[in-house]
Chain A
Amino acid sequence: MRPRVDELLEAAVNAYEDMIRRSCDLQRTLAQALPFEPARSVLNSSADLTRDIGAVQVSGARWLLDS
């Protein structure tokens, strides 16, 4: 049976969310490995920003899917 369009869109949104998560994890891992400031703080802040911008995008996309 062919998947419905909204199921495909949901899978795409989930995949995008996973990608954001992996990007955040990578930035935090790199930050931990750095031995000096302010590079560590910059990377951690960048991870937070990636998470929050991604969260807004994903929330918006799911909002449209649910409408």
Chain B
Amino acid sequence: MTALHWESTGSGEPVLMIMGLGLSGGAWWRTVPVLSRSLRVITFDNRGVGRSRARFHSYTTEAMADDAVSVLDAAGVDRAHVYGFSLGGMVAQQVALRYPARVRSLVLGATHPGGPRAVRPDAEVVAFFRRRASMTANVAARESVPFNYGPRCGREQKDRIAEDITRRLAHPFPEPAYRAQMVAAALHNCYRRLKGIDAPTLVVHGRRDRVVPVANADILAERIPHAQLWILDDAGHLYSTEQPDVDEEIARFFREVR
């Protein structure tokens, strides 16, 4: 039995939000209040994470995309804007390719296309993510700071980082679910099919992102027809912590889609 926890906030055109590796839908806590001023925001916990339960984990982004669309079905939404972050951005690519009629527009945040052409993080980041599954949630949250945030944020916005960590620790995830999502990220490969995405697309990425290097945003924007590219100069991976105005700009993108 699979039960996905989802929430809907606000009213207006629907936006489906797909969160990244190991994080629950609650990790959108900075973004939801901004987007829900003018949109209906639908968040959910990916399979095995947060309050969602499943007998089997999802080992592919295709499977995670099917879960995301089942949330749209449950919410009674035929067509939505889709905003995916990091691993959620890979899932969002699959949603756009597998269910094009369900996607009104697409925002791909801090993500990559997969396959051998994707630009990998440096060795230190890879080593951290390999160790990550065996760390306690608390230790992992604190050791991930240099990778998740840009250097300026690390120096000047320690209180915001602490808020993020507190929220993240409220919904720890089981190790098997994390490993399954790591497999899904490793297997993800949409590179060749990106040219088939016809939804209006915005690619957002922090220039200081160490987890998913910014060169991936260039690939996505180049491969997806008519995609817009927005690079945030001082931001790292978790850009909405570092540059709060980004959420308002993304809301504007959704509102202006025709």
Contacts and interface: CB of A to CB of B under 8 A. Distances in A.
Interface of A: 10, 21, 45, 48, 51-52, 55-56, 59, 62-63, 65-67
A15 to B, nearest CB: 13
Given A52-B59, A66-B116, A59 B191 contact: no
B115 A62 contact: yes
A63 B189 CA distance: 7
Given A62-B115, A66-B115, A66-B116, A52 B62 contact: yes
B60 interface: yes
Nearest to B114: A59
Contact of B188 (A21, A52, A59, A65): A59
13 contacts: A10-B192, A21-B98, A48-B56, A48-B63, A51-B63, A52-B59, A55-B61, A55-B187, A59-B188, A59-B189, A65-B192, A66-B116, A66-B192
A63 B115 contact: yes
Nearest to A10: B192
Most buried by B among A51, A59, A65: A59
B63 A66 contact: no
A34 to B, nearest CB: 17
Interface of B: 56, 59-63, 66, 98, 114-117, 187-189, 191-192
Given A62-B191, A63-B189, A52 B63 contact: yes
Q: Which 10 A-B pairs have the closest CB atoms?
A: A55-B60, A55-B62, A59-B189, A66-B115, A59-B187, A62-B189, A66-B116, A67-B116, A52-B60, A62-B192
A65 B172 CA distance: 38
Contact of A55 (B56, B63, B117, B191): B63
A63 B24 CA distance: 30
B60 A56 contact: yes
A51 B60 CA distance: 9
A35 B61 CA distance: 31
Nearest to B186: A59
Contacts of B189: 59, 62-63, 66
Contacts of A56: 59-60, 187
Contacts of B98: 21
Contacts of A65: 192
B117 A66 contact: yes
A40 to B, nearest CB: 12
B72 to A, nearest CB: 16
Given A62-B189, A66-B192, 6 more contacts: A51-B60, A51-B63, A55-B60, A62-B191, A62-B192, A66-B191
